Chains A and B, each alone.
Chain A
């Protein structure tokens, strides 16, 4: 039984179906799979791309720390998280989270927990590139993301 989360930071896109199969193949103990994927928005067709910068090494380490907490706290059977870096165009994938568990609530909570902490603790930064060629500047961190952590306080 795999207990270690599978965390990958990569430039390439990911295949959601293949990633689900990796976690579930041959397993008869999994009753629930929750996937979350985050996509690049076009912001009303003003954005040509997001550029994602990351801190190599720490990005993997930090998401692994969060995923290990999630697996323990919610009793997950498996967890995968893939975060892309580089230039990503509107409608393309940015991030994938998959959680598996015997029953659905743990997987919903685990995926939600991982995303909430990833947003504020995983060392990634987004820069806007605009359709009109302008430098759209760096994306500001949102208070709402910080506030989202409150619901996980025990």
Chain B
């Protein structure tokens, strides 16, 4: 399954890109699986995933609170640090 991943703030800087199209492995069904897969994608991903408890996720531009949430046929998953607007 090809999906668009988008990154913001210091995650974007650490990954060196704002977005990418990826083919997710079959085993990636939930947000938690996605994070597990990230940990296998090299040093920068591993370093960012040390903060996985505070990292936030939006599926198709809506917040997701539970890391068990299934990705389903989502088109876009955004991954970002806690927000600091206002």
Contacts and interface: CB of A to CB of B under 8 A. Distances in A.
B86 A57 contact: no
Interface residues of A, number: 27
A92 B15 CA distance: 31
B85 A55 contact: no
Contacts of A54: 85
Nearest to A36: B86
B78 A120 contact: no
Interface stretch (B2-10, B28-36, B39-47, B66-74): B2-10
Contacts, number: 71
Interface residues of B, number: 17
A1 B13 CA distance: 45
B49 interface: no
Interface of A is mostly: mixed
A118 B85 contact: yes
Contacts of A11: none
A57 B8 CA distance: 14
Interface of B: 6, 8-10, 12, 58, 61-63, 78, 80-86
Interface of A: 38, 52-55, 57-58, 61-62, 83, 94-95, 115, 118-127, 138-141
